[in-house]
Structure 1
Amino acid sequence: MSQARDLPDTIAVFPLSGALLLPRAKLPLHIFEPRYLAMIDDALKTPQRLIGMVQPFESPSGKESLQTIGCAGRITALSETEDGRYMINLSGMSRFRILEEVGGFTPYRRCTVNWAGFGRDLGKTETDPSFNRPAFLKALQRYFDDQGLKTDWESLSEADDEMLINYISILCPFEPEDKQALLEAPSLTTRRETLMTLIEFAMRGGSADEVMQ
Structure 2
Amino acid sequence: MSDQGPSGLEELPAVLPIFPLTGALLLTTGQLPLNVFEPRYMDLVRDVMEGHRVIGIIQPKVPNDPAHEPDLYSIGCAGKICEFSEHPSGIYQITLEGICRFQVQQEIPERTTLYRQVVADYDRFNHDRMPCSGRGIDRNALQAVLKHFLELENEEADWEMLNHLEDDNLINSLSMICPFSPAEKQALLEAENVPDRCKLLIDLLTMMMQQSSTNKTLQ
Q: If the TM-score is normalised by the length of the shorter chain, which range does it land in? A: 0.7 to 0.9
- Tell me which moved more, 197-206 or 94-103: 197-206
Matched, 1:91 2:97: yes
Note the C-alpha offset of 1:135.
Answer: 3.1
Matches of 1:178 and 1:128, distance apart in 2: 25
Q: After TM superposition, list the pairs within 5 Å mapping 1:167-186 onto structure 2.
A: 167-186=173-192
Aligned residues: 203
Equivalent residue number for residue 114 of structure 1: 121
Q: Which runs of 5+ in 1 are unaligned?
A: 207-213
Q: Is the 8 A contact 2:81 2:96 kept in 1?
A: yes
Equivalent residue number for residue 28 of structure 1: 33
Note the C-alpha offset of 1:115.
Answer: 1.3
- Tell me which moved more, 164-173 or 99-108: 99-108
Q: Deviations over 1:66-94 (max 9, x none)?
A: 10011000111111111111221111111
Q: After TM superposition, list the pairs within 5 Å mapping 1:120-131 onto structure 2.
A: 120-123=127-130, 125-127=131-133, 129-131=135-137
Change (3 A) 1:148 1:107: farther
Note the C-alpha offset of 1:150.
Answer: 5.0
What letter corresponds to residue 204 of structure 1 in structure 2? Q
Greater percentage in strand: 1
Note the C-alpha offset of 1:10.
Answer: 0.5
Q: Which runs of 5+ in 2 are unaligned?
A: 213-219
Equivalent residue number for residue 8 of structure 1: 13
What letter corresponds to residue 161 of structure 1 in structure 2? D
Matches of 2:93 and 2:154, distance apart in 1: 26
Matches of 2:11 and 2:190, distance apart in 1: 22
CA RMSD of superposed structures (Å)? 2.3
- Tell me which moved more, 64-73 or 134-143: 134-143
What letter corresponds to residue 105 of structure 1 in structure 2? T
What letter corresponds to residue 135 of structure 1 in structure 2? A
**Percent of paired sites with the same residue:** 36
SS for the counterpart of 1:57 is coil
